[in-house]
Amino acid sequence: MGKFFAFGPVILTRVFGLLLKGPLIAMTELMFRQQRILSLLSGKLQIKRAITKNKGIKGYCYKGKTGLKKGEVKVKKYNLVAQGRTADIFEWEENRVLKLYKDGFARKTAEKEFNVVRELAKKELPVPEVFELITYQKRWGVIFEKVSGPTMLEQIASNPGDIIGEARRLAELHKNFQIKVDIQLLQFKALVKKSISRVKEINGKTREKLWETLDQLTEGDKLCHGDFHPENVIIGRDKVIVIDWLTAAVGNPLADVARTSIILKLGAIPHHKSEEEIRVMKKLRDNFYKEYLKHYLKITGEDQNLIEKWEIPLAAARLEERLPLKEKRALLSFVEKCLV
């Protein structure tokens, strides 16, 4: 009898299965599908997807209301893989990632990164392939090729012996991207000026001096990344790519190198580290920076004095960002010291 209770449901299902084979299978399938749909709906992210072909942006679908052909809406779950300051990155199908910009970023932001990366990919420069522009709730996003591997920063942190090689790699990558591009981008110098004008910590006198310094520096017409540092380089197994082209502009390449210098020289080391760890990390970072600069000057024949001159407005402009207080103080004292 006990055995019947244990196996009863199985036997009954079998009997019913034999009697109602067709309908039962159909019902089970339906239940299974409903369960799947429920689990997808409770997933982290559901996307209403439409538009775009590899060749270009064909149109937009906002919340599936316009331009969506029958069968083009898909509901799926995507896992969060990284969170940056401007976007959340989700795992996408077919070895891709979705960079979903945070609330408040306009469509033209996503479009800009899409266009810049597409242009660079066309020129066969080391960037991820770019596929689609999408919307999810009021947020815009771009789908990129996923390149698995550590960022250059992670690579150096886990293998300090690689510092010299990676610093040279960063310099070479930087030089290779400093080309003329056929995309409409804002002038880097004008953007720097705009950022400085928004920094509250800079007083009138210092600001005047900064304008004078900027006036002496030439604008330039080459691609500037705007945030070229080891965290925006992914070292994949088959290729090394540069990501995060949201801040791209056109201008003097030395201004872009100056921005990298400021980050590498004055960037705060996370405060949860011990004094000793901070000292060691600073030393490693200094070595990395020195080699990056030395190698860049060697392969480009550029003038270090000009890079140093650009560093002053670039440090001032960086004060606009949300940074640890310690880093802000270091930037402000650097600017004031350079301008006396």
232 forms part of the interface with Mg ion (CB under 5 A):
yes
Which contiguous run of DSSP H or E holds residue 180? none
Residue nearer to Mg ion on the CB measure, 61 or 246: 246
- The C-alpha angle with vertex 163 and arms to 157 and 166, in degrees rounded to 5, equals 100
Residue nearer to ligand ATP on the CB measure, 87 or 249: 87
CB of 231 to ligand ATP, least distance (A): 6
Nearest residue to 287 (alpha-carbon basis) of 155, 172, 166, 174: 166
Residue nearer to ligand ATP on the CB measure, 68 or 245: 245
Among 86, 195, 206, 213, binds ligand ATP (CB under 6 A): 86
230 forms part of the interface with ligand ATP (CB under 6 A):
no
Q: How many CB atoms lie within 10 A of CB 303?
A: 11
Nearest residue to 163 (alpha-carbon basis) of 263, 312, 288: 288
Select the residue whose beta carbon is closest to Mg ion and give its number.
244
Question: What b/e readout covers 166-204, taking b as 16+ CB neighbours within 10 angstroms?
Answer: bbbbbbebbbebbeebeeebebbbebbbebbeebeebee
Site string for Mg ion, 84-103 (x = CB under 5 A): x-------------------
Contact 165, 156 (CB under 8 A): no
Residue nearer to ligand ATP on the CB measure, 147 or 171: 147
144 strand-pairing partners: 97, 130
Binders of ligand ATP among residues 39 to 78 (CB under 6 A) are none
| Torsion sign, CA atoms 187, 188, 189, 195 | positive
Reading the block at residue 337, the tokens are: 């010291």
Contact 254, 132 (CB under 8 A): no
Interface stretch with Mg ion, choices 19-27, 34-42, 205-213, 230-238 (CB under 5 A): 230-238
Distance CA 34, CA 292 (A): 56
85 binds, among Mg ion, ligand ATP, none (CB under 5 to 8 A by kind): ligand ATP
Contact 47, 90 (CB under 8 A): no
Among 48, 49, 99, 189, binds ligand ATP (CB under 6 A): 99
CB of 123 to ligand ATP, least distance (A): 18
128 binds, among Mg ion, ligand ATP, none (CB under 5 to 8 A by kind): ligand ATP
CB of 211 to ligand ATP, least distance (A): 28
CB of 245 to ligand ATP, least distance (A): 8
Binders of Mg ion among residues 147 to 186 (CB under 5 A) are none
Give me the residues that bind Mg ion (CB under 5 A), please. 84, 232, 244
Give me the residues that bind ligand ATP (CB under 6 A), please. 82, 84-87, 89, 97, 99, 128, 144-147, 151, 231-232, 234, 243-244, 246
